[in-house]
Structure 1
Amino acid sequence: MIDRLPEGLTGSDLARAALAAAREAAKSRKPARRSTAAVNRGRRRRWSGAGADDRDPQPLGRLVSRMAMDRGWSEQLSGGQVFAKWPQLVGAEVAQHAKPVTLREGELVVQAESTAWATQLRLLQRQLLQQIAKGVGPNVVKRLKVQGPSAPNWRFGPLHAPGRGPRDTYG
């Protein structure tokens, strides 16, 4: 290509002549055959342009939810939503008197602050399950187990004396 350039050209004239020679050489060459991998790919990569594309920057929430779906974390994350959104799911009054403790295999254990509230929650169990399913999705919570308040434990340390403990000294 360089041997075809005219003598005595300098600067921009030399650049134009080199460009013209390169274009002529490109026209005279045979087109290269596409490999089978390129043919099978089918779609040629282009710039994304004005429309949305997978190569464009994505919102972080969308990327995290896609990663959770790919790795099978969706069930654990939706179970965590029960704890995070508890007041919105069951209402402010119920959330004030009861709190979720554990969620395992679709069974949510809820601890009430009194036996009266535990009874009330057992009566409202069907409505609470519907509200939770509406808020976080179906089949996240399948059963609801309501516990009342726990009694104090008087056994401290590895050794203890048999009997009722300090209650038997009250008269």
Structure 2
Amino acid sequence: MTEPPDPGQQMEPEPTSKGDGLELARDIAGAYRTSAPKQHRRAGKKPDPSRGVKRASKDDPEPLAGLLGKLIADQGWESDLSAQRVFTDWADIVGEEVAHHCAVVGYEDGQVEVEASSTAWATQLRLLAPRIVAKLNQELGQGSVVRLSIHGPTGPTWVKGKRTIRNARGPRDTYG
């Protein structure tokens, strides 16, 4: 019977009769398995998870995402940031076709202001408003959106320029 080699001593594999590379690798792995020091555990005791784990120093680098997450949680900005997703995730929430014809222009106190590209789209959005509010609350958190305020395109104003008349009704006689 042979003794297991010292861990500090250089190990030489025993020559195999076949000269097969796979057999040689198995012999080397087996020699390492038998020569590795065994760690004994007491029966019924779990290993201490803090042992062997290097404690991070305050000077060690941390991922930026983790630091930003801690800052947001410490300042209490989670609800504000989740509500601002109305602007960034609008196309995903309402769909590409609807988002192509309308845009979010404001958000304050649970009210989302939406500008539609035409009066027809504004009417359609007013009819879909309860469904859109429900979907926004599902995506952003319950109670984050209370109401949609939908506006169509605005007409031209005639209150510009140097020669305007106060309380006038505009150039009605020029289009005729």
Please give the TM-score of this superposition, normalised by the length of structure 1: 0.62
Q: 1:68 aligns with which of 49, 72, 78?
A: 72
1:90 aligns with 2:65: no
Q: Give how far 1:106 is off.
A: 0.4
Structure 2 counterpart of 1:11: none
1:106 aligns with 2:106: no
Q: Give how far 1:57 is off.
A: 4.9
Provide structure 2 residue ranges, at least 5 long, that are not aligned to the other structure: 1-49
Aligned residues: 125
Structure 2 counterpart of 1:124: 128
- Distance between the aligned counterparts of 2:121 and 2:99, measured in 1? 11
1:164 aligns with 2:166: no
Give every structure 1 segment of 4 or more consecutive aligned residues whose post-TM-superposition deviation is greater than 3 Å. 52-59
Please give the TM-score of this superposition, normalised by the length of structure 2: 0.61
- Distance between the aligned counterparts of 1:134 and 1:53, measured in 2? 39
- Distance between the aligned counterparts of 1:54 and 1:147, measured in 2? 55
Q: Look up the SS of the partner of 1:64 in the other structure.
A: helix
- Distance between the aligned counterparts of 2:51 and 2:137, measured in 1? 43
Structure 2 counterpart of 1:141: 145
Q: Give how far 1:165 is off.
A: 2.0
**TM-aligned CA distance change 1:58 to 1:101, over 3 Å:** same
Structure number with higher helix proportion: 1
- Distance between the aligned counterparts of 2:79 and 2:173, measured in 1? 49
Provide structure 1 residue ranges, at least 5 long, that are not aligned to the other structure: 1-45
